[in-house]
Chains A and B, each alone.
Chain A
Amino acid sequence: MASDPIAGVPLPWPDQPGELPRHFRNRQALAQTLEQLFPEAAGSLSPVRGGRHQADTLLARLQPERYAKGRNFLDGPVTRLSPYIRHGVLTLAEVREAVFARTRSRQGSEKLINELGWRDYWQRLWQQLGDGLWRDQEELKTGHSAAAYARELPADILEARTGLACMDGFIEELHGTGWLHNHARMWLAAYLVHWRRIRWQTGAQWFLQHLLDGDPASNALSWQWVASSFSHKPYIFNRGNLERYSNGRACRHCPLATEGCPFEASYEQLEADLFAPMPTIRATDNRRGGRDASRSGNRGRSGTTQGSSTTALSRPTPRR
């Protein structure tokens, strides 16, 4: 409970000068102390609690088969383990064993194990790329030059007043809780990069400020996937896709629901509106061997999207 005292586990060695407190009257007192210790850090605590105790509670609720079926929906049975995995509160090996312990048939758990694989993949890439993951891995395939993208986040985005109920809701959730469903991350990232033409790095840094699971590798490389510097095609969505996987939650009270929704179009129309002609796309891809051809190959109109348990903005996915 929020009013319960918070006590760090006892230390068998004496405190040294300059060490930070480990006992608090309650969670509010913790928040106040942290505000004093870290005055530059904006906001307050997330409703999501840190610690292995909470991670174990979530782990006990794992349902790999339900996850496989419903993970793309904003209200679907995603695990919410990502912050704990990102900071090693749980190791991937521990989560793998927890999934195995709940596995009756391999097929039912393959999706969740595959998601853990994505986390491992991004981490291996981080080892390989180092800080270079902030650089475009490939040319953009949008027909726009990198210089055409704004470096700063516009105020209406920072203040969650874009006028789009879906995006404003996602921004408020990001700022308030530090967690977003993977699908919401993808939509928000695509909106920023493609509809607002903001550099992916700017968006990625903004996510890292807020996401409890903010991992440089998963986050930056997934933004690159959306932007198309780490994929063979930019990721976009349309209203039909968003409405389906959000159960129309935001659209029901969006002032633009009946007229003016920028996502209300076919993919063909949106591509024509958002991107400049780029006749060399195919040649580029063939030459490079399509780093994530497996993902882009999956991105046909009939694919399904993936909500992630494990990563910041988890590996991007097919758009429908």
Chain B
Amino acid sequence: MQRPILWIHGEALGPANPALVAHPGRPAVFVFDSALLLGRSASTGDPSSPAEPVSLKRIGFLYECLLELPVSLRRGDVAEEVLTFAAAHGADGIVTCASNDPRVARITETLLRQLPVQVLAVEPFVQLDGPVDLGRFSRYWRRAEPQVWAGWREPGP
């Protein structure tokens, strides 16, 4: 990828977004996802209930976060808008950042049909190798807590 655009999504609206860090100055876009904001997604509503739009408070919060980032703003169908933006900038690929939201994964698949997509990982809270038992928090934490605290250095006298 020589001329990527960056797709910024709602899971990584900070300067530590690895796409922004890896490609400073490259055109970046965020798309207000119309269906999601209308509540028609499992990210904003119960799939078995009638959709309810999210309130303006949430949109305003995202908007204010986005104004502090070098990112163009669009609204509509996310994949379509990202691809329009990519075409306008003559991009040969898309760089974005990892997310746990299945909706982000589905959009990424759609993008992949048109352009290569590179998904960069965010710095993890704690690195745990191999399968992690999430059956209960205590099992997870028994493994995670020592790793987290291994990064702390007691202040000197």
Interface residues of A (CB under 8 A from B): 6-13, 15-16, 18-20, 22, 30-31, 34-35, 37-38, 40-46, 48-55, 83-84, 87-94, 96, 100, 103-104, 106, 113-114, 116-121, 123-128, 130-131, 134, 151, 175, 177-178, 201-202, 204-206, 208-212, 214, 216-217, 289-295, 315
Minimum CB distance partner of A49 in chain B: B64
In the bound assembly, the distance between CA atoms of A87 and B62 in angstroms comes to: 8
Residues of A within 8 A of B149 (CB): 106, 113
Residues of B within 8 A of A6 (CB): 64, 67
Q: Are B56 and A31 in contact (CB under 8 A)?
A: yes
Q: Are B53 and A18 in contact (CB under 8 A)?
A: no
| A60 vs chain B, min Cβ distance (A) | 16
5 contacts between A and B (CB under 8 A): A9-B67, A35-B56, A52-B65, A205-B39, A212-B61
Q: Are B100 and A31 in contact (CB under 8 A)?
A: no
Q: Are A22 and B37 in contact (CB under 8 A)?
A: no
| B62 vs chain A, min Cβ distance (A) | 6
Residues of A within 8 A of B155 (CB): 103-104
Q: Are A22 and B73 in contact (CB under 8 A)?
A: yes
Minimum CB distance partner of A206 in chain B: B52
Residues of B within 8 A of A46 (CB): 57, 60-61
Give the B interface residue count (CB, 8 A).
78
In the bound assembly, the distance between CA atoms of A41 and B33 in angstroms comes to: 13
Task: Name 16 extra pairs, CB < 8 A, besides A18-B81, A106-B154.
Answer: A10-B70, A22-B67, A43-B55, A43-B57, A46-B60, A50-B63, A50-B64, A92-B124, A113-B149, A121-B137, A126-B101, A177-B57, A202-B49, A205-B46, A210-B58, A212-B58
Interface of chain B: mostly helix, strand, loop or mixed = loop
Q: Are A202 and B46 in contact (CB under 8 A)?
A: yes
Residues of B within 8 A of A177 (CB): 57
Contact of A130 among B16, B102, B124, B140 (CB under 8 A): B102
In the bound assembly, the distance between CA atoms of A184 and B63 in angstroms comes to: 27
Interface residues of B (CB under 8 A from A): 10-17, 25, 27, 32, 37-39, 42-49, 52-75, 81, 84-85, 88-89, 97, 100-102, 122-126, 132, 134-141, 144-145, 148-149, 151-155
